[in-house]
Homo-oligomer: A and B are copies of this chain.
């Protein structure tokens, strides 16, 4: 659907580009997590990626490109993980599965998500738009599932409530990435379990059993 913002590279070999950019992203995420985007220098990124500053600039145009690549790679992963749900018709069970996938993903890519949420404001305008759109797509997925639950009678919520609830679900995911320091005594399964119960109780008035994620 959404055409990706193409990042220019003066190298032609596509598979090499992919390889080098993967190195870059891995190094950059660690650095951005530690010191933030602004305090990380391009030289540090190059070094962490395992090549020279000159080489770095063969694969990107600006430092912001690196941040964009990080964000973009996260959504590639999000897409891969939630793809299967795109086709399913919403039901409470599917909703729970979606949450399990989504929260599980955030758990796996905690650093990446933190970086994305903390630093995405440093993206150039168009890149920021692209990332926000991806974000809204996620929210829209939840919204669709909730709506379909309502239509099937599993939930009784107004459209407005559904919209807010979708944001709810999305933001609770961020919370797991961001507030891990405050939630040290929860495992990811406990977290998913408890969140799910809250939501379902709040929305449907009944508990639904979920199998612990991962």
Asked whether A208 is an interface residue with its Cβ less than 8 Å from the other chain, the reply is no
Assess whether B118 is in contact with A198, with CB atoms less than 8 Å apart: no
Asked whether A136 is an interface residue with its Cβ less than 8 Å from the other chain, the reply is yes
As a 0/1 sequence over residues 178 to 195 of chain A, the CB contacts with chain B under 8 angstroms (1 = contact) are: 010011011000110011
As a 0/1 sequence over residues 154 to 185 of chain A, the CB contacts with chain B under 8 angstroms (1 = contact) are: 00000011001101100110110001001101
Main SS of chain A's interface residues?
A: helix
Assess whether A164 is in contact with B191, with CB atoms less than 8 Å apart: yes
Residues in B with CB closer than 8 Å to A171 are 171-172, 174-175, 179
A150 to chain B, nearest CB (A): 15
Interface centre among A182, A195, A197 (most CB of B within 10 A): A182
Asked whether A3 is an interface residue with its Cβ less than 8 Å from the other chain, the reply is no
A199 to B164, CA, bound (A): 13
Assess whether B136 is in contact with A182, with CB atoms less than 8 Å apart: yes
A133 to chain B, nearest CB (A): 11
Assess whether A161 is in contact with B202, with CB atoms less than 8 Å apart: no
Asked whether A5 is an interface residue with its Cβ less than 8 Å from the other chain, the reply is no
A10 to B39, CA, bound (A): 19
Name A's B-contacting residues (CB within 8 A).
36, 38-39, 118, 121-122, 136, 139, 160-161, 164-165, 167-168, 171-172, 174-175, 179, 182-183, 185-186, 190-191, 194-195, 197-199, 201-203, 205
A–B Cβ pairs within 8 angstroms, 20 of them: A36-B121, A39-B122, A118-B118, A160-B186, A160-B194, A164-B183, A164-B191, A164-B194, A164-B195, A164-B198, A167-B175, A167-B183, A168-B172, A168-B198, A171-B172, A199-B202, A201-B201, A201-B202, A201-B205, A205-B205
